[in-house]
DNA sequence: AGAGGATTGCTTGATGTTAAACTGGTACAA
DNA sequence: TTGTACCAGTTTAACATCAAGCAATCCTCT
């Protein structure tokens, strides 16, 4: 991760961009998710509540794809949310492999109350950049995220 | 994380930038670190070897700060690297709180052999952006990473 | 139609990561 | 010197990942 590496200018720059990108994402995420610990929610738990809130009930795998978490993890995340009475599981009777997950009224309430604050925090963080800079960053991230092929 | 949220255009954009940034960093990192599993190294282990390689021996806390990992984790990471004979621990006799960590010849060899490949992979990933785009991205990441105050 | 392999969704198990409590070493002021 | 504060490192509990395993469903071929 260090820059004490003696390669070509091109290599140096690529390594440097890579480090800056990673650290930037890490620190922005750390700041944005800080408030979640007050609610005793992990980032995954918040992601699940938010997905269910905005997209409606889903089965576990679908949820895992939305929030980019492993299916193994979804079992635990949803276990924990169930214990706190924030979501409910319901086995699909037509295809018994699926487990449908939905918000309870308590879960609905919690995410309804918290989400505006979350948006405010994100806005404060990202608002450091001008609208034009935001568009530019978004464009570059999209290009980079797709990789060589895309 | 979803964009199915009905707020102001400004809020929508901020959320969108935030998601793109996070996903971009995640996918770039996933691709870059894929090769490490061949070496049976975790990202943290690689970070430690690389830091020691380019910056020389350090004590554990210092290493943890370089690679952005908790001190608790450093204990385990270095335990595992010790077991594989890639690094050595040495208690500082002048201040017995400190543990100095250094590369063994085997560790030196491993990182020496692998690092050029790592650089190549990073270059391939970041190289999808033109030099000007890289400079721009770096600039935006720096600004965003510092946050409101910086 | 029915048998058996492939596929799919979820759970389990091994391991890595973090935060926070804990242990032991050092410094400093009374 | 002793009490307090601080610092480096370890331990522990909870949560994350991946890979392997299990159960339900689908698909193909006769």
Residue B131 lies in a domain: yes
Residue A90 lies in a domain: yes
Do B126 and A144 count as a contact with CB atoms less than 8 A apart? yes
Query: pLDDT category, A107, cuts 50, 70, 90?
Result: very high
**B129 at A interface, C-beta within 8 A:** yes
Residue B31 lies in a domain: yes
Do B14 and A67 count as a contact with CB atoms less than 8 A apart? no
Considering only CA atoms, which of A15, A124, A118, A2 is closest in space to residue B144? A124
Residue A77 lies in a domain: yes
Residue B116 lies in a domain: yes
* Mean pLDDT rounded to a whole number for chain A: 93
Buried b (16+ CB within 10 A) or exposed e, A67-100: bebeeeebeebbebbeeeebbeeeeeeeeeebbe
Do A123 and B55 count as a contact with CB atoms less than 8 A apart? no
**What's the structural domain count of chain A?**
1
Q: In a 10 Å sphere around its CB, with 0-12 CB exposed, 13-18 middle and 19+ buried, how is residue B113 labelled?
A: exposed
For A17, nearest residue in chain B (alpha carbons)? B138
Indicate which CATH number applies to the domain containing A44.
Answer: 1.10.10.10
Enclosing domain of residue B45: 9-146
Query: Distance (Å) from CA B89 to C1' C29?
Result: 34
Which bases along strand C come within 7 Å of a protein CB atom?
8-13, 16-21, 24-27
Query: pLDDT tens digits for A75-104?
Result: 999 999 999 999 999 999 999 999 999 999
Residue B1 lies in a domain: no
B77 close to B48: Cβ distance less than 8 angstroms: yes
Q: Given this model, what pLDDT does residue A149 score?
A: 66
Residues of A in contact with B144 (CB under 8 A): 24, 28, 125-126, 128-129, 137
**A112 at B interface, C-beta within 8 A:** no
Q: Given this model, what pLDDT does residue A147 score?
A: 83
Query: pLDDT tens digits for A51-82?
Result: 999 999 999 999 999 999 999 999 999 999 99
Residue A138 lies in a domain: yes
Q: Given this model, what pLDDT does residue B149 score?
A: 65
**A26 at B interface, C-beta within 8 A:** yes
Q: What is the pLDDT along chain B (150 residues), one digit of tens a residue?
A: 445 677 899 999 999 999 999 999 999 999 998 889 889 999 999 999 999 999 999 999 999 999 999 999 999 999 999 999 999 999 999 999 999 999 999 999 999 999 999 999 999 999 999 999 999 999 999 999 988 764
Considering only CA atoms, which of B86, B39, B92, B82 is closest in space to residue B62? B92
Closest CB to A14 among B16, B50, B127: B127
Residue B2 lies in a domain: no
């Amino acid at each position: 991760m260090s820059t004490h590496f003696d390669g070509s200018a091109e290599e140096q720059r690529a390594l440097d961009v890579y480090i800056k990108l990673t650290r930037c994402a890490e620190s922005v995420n750390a700041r944005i998710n800080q408030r979640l610990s007050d609610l005793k929610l992990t980032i995954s738990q918040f992601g699940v509540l938010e997905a269910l809130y905005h997209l409606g009930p889903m089965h576990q795998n679908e949820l895992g794809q939305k929030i980019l978490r492993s299916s193994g993890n979804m079992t635990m995340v949803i276990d924990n949310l169930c214990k706190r009475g924030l979501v409910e599981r319901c086995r699909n009777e037509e295809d018994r492999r699926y487990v449908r997950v939905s918000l309870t009224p308590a879960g609905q309430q919690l995410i309804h109350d918290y989400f505006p604050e979350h948006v405010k925090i994100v806005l404060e963080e990202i608002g450091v950049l001008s609208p034009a800079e935001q568009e530019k960053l978004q464009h570059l991230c999209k290009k980079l995220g797709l990789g060589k092929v895309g």
